[in-house]
Amino acid sequence: MNKPAVSISLSSYGADLVRRRGQASFIEVLAAAGANRIEWREELLTIEVPEQLSTATQAQGLQSIYSSPTELWLAGQSRPNPELITALQNAEAFGSKWLKVSLGFFTDNNDLQTLGQILAQSPVQLLVENDQTLHGGRIEPFQRFFAAVEQHNLPIKMTFDIGNWQWQDQSAISAARLLGRHVGYVHCKAVARRADGKLVAVPPAATDLHLWEQLLRHMAQGVMRAAEYPLQGDDLVQLTTEHVAALARLGQSRLEPAHV
């Protein structure tokens, strides 16, 4: 039985550490931990050379995802964000098969025909994520967006960030039920509220893993998933190994034969 592909978002190791060490230094960590994919973070890049990272990643048997903070749609503009083309080119330079961006300001007047023409020029698969903003992080705009994507038959999938729905006080279960069939990538993130009222990402407890198991039932079997929560400790390989294994197990129970 093939295990689902597990990725690690490099933001999980903390922005300061990643910028200090460089993203290339985590390639061997992820490979040793049994991850299948690595998620580069554009906002954490320092002096990395894309081609070198691409070569090193492939040498370790890893595939990669390029995460950009680019919003697909800008406020008041019908055409896709001009920065999308650059983000696609960056993803390709990093050897990434996938580009993750945020939805941005989607309206029914957006020009999906032009979006389709842009995507047809790139081998990179576009993944559109629900972020923590009011305009790009709620269920309803994603329902409208993917209805339009289907109408235009565009090769776009969703990055379903489990934790981000909490920033909008929306139900992740409802979101999975309504959007699950569009999901190509899942960002696993548990969320806690600090004493000051601010929401923060935290590693999952048993209750979180149980919830994630329920969410994945609304998505394609074996959907690609990633850790995007703090992975901080003295032995990053051991810690990452534990979390890769936990994420790989999610959704596998429905493949196992029932015991009579």
Tens of pLDDT, residues 82-141: 999 999 999 999 999 999 999 999 999 999 999 999 999 999 999 999 999 999 999 999
Length of the chain: 260
- Residues 147, 1: Cα–Cα separation, whole Å: 33
Burial 60-91 (b: 16+ CB within 10 A, else e): eebbbbbbbebbbbbeeeeebbebbeebbebb
pLDDT at 74 over 70: yes
Give me the pLDDT at residue 21, please: 95
Q: Which of 132, 64, 133, 48 is nearest to 100 (CA)?
A: 64
15-47 pLDDT tens trace: 999 999 999 999 999 999 999 999 999 999 998
Beta-carbon count within 10 A of 230 CB: 17
pLDDT surpassing 60 at residue 258: no
For 193, list phi and psi in degrees, rounded to 5. -100, 125
**pLDDT greater than 80 at residue 2:** no
Closest-CA residue to 216 (of 256, 260, 171, 184): 184
Rounded CA-CA distance 176/89 in Å is 30
Beta bridge mates, 6: 225
pLDDT of residue 251: 87
What is the model's pLDDT at position 259?
45
Identify the burial level of 56 via C-beta atoms within 10 angstroms of its C-beta, where 0-12 means exposed, 13-18 middle and 19 or more buried: middle
For the cut 60, the answer to whether the pLDDT of residue 205 exceeds it is: yes
pLDDT for position 252 = 78
Share of the chain above pLDDT 70, in %: 97
Q: Across residues 58-84, what is the average pLDDT?
A: 97
Contact 187, 228 (CB under 8 A): yes
Give the pLDDT score at 260: 40
Q: Identify the pLDDT of residue 257.
A: 45
pLDDT recorded at residue 215 = 97
Q: Tell me the pairing of strands 183-188 and 156-161.
A: parallel
- List phi, psi (to 5°) of 65: -125, 135
Output the pTM of the full model. 0.95
Considering only CA atoms, which of 118, 86, 228, 255 is closest in space to residue 162?
Answer: 228
Q: What is the pLDDT of residue 188?
A: 98
Q: Return the pLDDT at 255.
A: 52
Distance CA 135, CA 189 (A): 20
Please report where in the chains the tokens 């993944």 appear, as a residue: 127
Q: What is the pLDDT of residues 229-257, one digit of tens each?
A: 999 999 999 999 999 999 999 987 655 44
Do residues 137 and 106 make contact, with C-beta atoms less than 8 angstroms apart? no
Classify residue 46 by burial, with Cβ atoms within 10 Å: 0-12, 13-18, 19+: exposed
